Structure 1
């Protein structure tokens, strides 16, 4: 009965579906999303494996007795297995304190997105042996240590 109340032309227009411009917009938004994910995704996957590497290092009970070279070798082994390359592997800093060891992986990546548009991503992961349960959240500002060294 509701069909009789609507004019025939109006009913057909309501059932036509999306127009050419509507489909073009959907494809453009999908393409943009796919481009962003394909460009930025690998950096976030590497950051995930950096965090997992620090978690696995925090499970090691003898980390305080390990030398800096041994800690870096352990992380490098984990990064090699999980295909983490580039900036995360070079950004490993180890700071020894009186009662703890701080392993910091703090780096910044610049990824070109389009012609002259870049995306800058910052990652800061830390393992403090005094608080291994808080692994991977930055607890210490590494910049303070760098300023003191200069």
Structure 2
């Protein structure tokens, strides 16, 4: 039988603290990016709560509403240039696709890609694109 207590060595403690510090650093840098995307989703959802139905709004009215929402809530990574509105016969498709680069360590960055989508004919199904949706490519 051993009479002395076994515990973590100094090297193991440093390793555990380094790993925990790395994950905390990642969390501190990535959580604000995801919370900002939640504001963008809230902006899209706020379109359906307007007095005027979204399907009857013009693209400029939609962009103006979203830009005001961004300004009030301090959304900085997305501007009105990322708002794309495709007009079809009886609906508008609003897409806000963007990516954010977060510098992590030295020359290593994390790229986070967001795709937000709203079909004005089905505003209750906001804000992720359906599986079969393919945005029109710019040529």
Aligned match of 2:101 in 100, 110, 114? 110
The count of residues paired between Structure 1 and Structure 2 equals: 136
Match of 2:47 in 1: 57
Structure 2 CA distance for aligned equivalents of residues 141 and 107 of structure 1: 15
Aligned match of 1:83 in 58, 69, 74? 74
Structure 1 CA distance for aligned equivalents of residues 95 and 3 of structure 2: 64
| Unaligned residue ranges in structure 1 (runs of 5+) | 1-6
Matched, 1:40 2:30: yes
Structure 1 CA distance for aligned equivalents of residues 96 and 118 of structure 2: 9
TM-score of the pair, normalised by structure 2: 0.87
CA positional deviation for 1:88: 5.2
CA positional deviation for 1:67: 1.8
Matched, 1:146 2:137: yes
| Unaligned residue ranges in structure 2 (runs of 5+) | none
CA positional deviation for 1:89: 4.5
Q: Deviations over 1:59-116 (max 9, x none)?
A: 3342222221211111112112221113354311111110111111001122221112
Which of the two has greater helix per residue?
1
Structure 1 CA distance for aligned equivalents of residues 81 and 108 of structure 2: 25
Match of 1:29 in 2: 19
Rg larger in structure = 1
TM-score of the pair, normalised by structure 1: 0.82
Q: RMSD value over aligned CA atoms?
A: 1.7
Aligned match of 2:3 in 11, 14, 17? 11
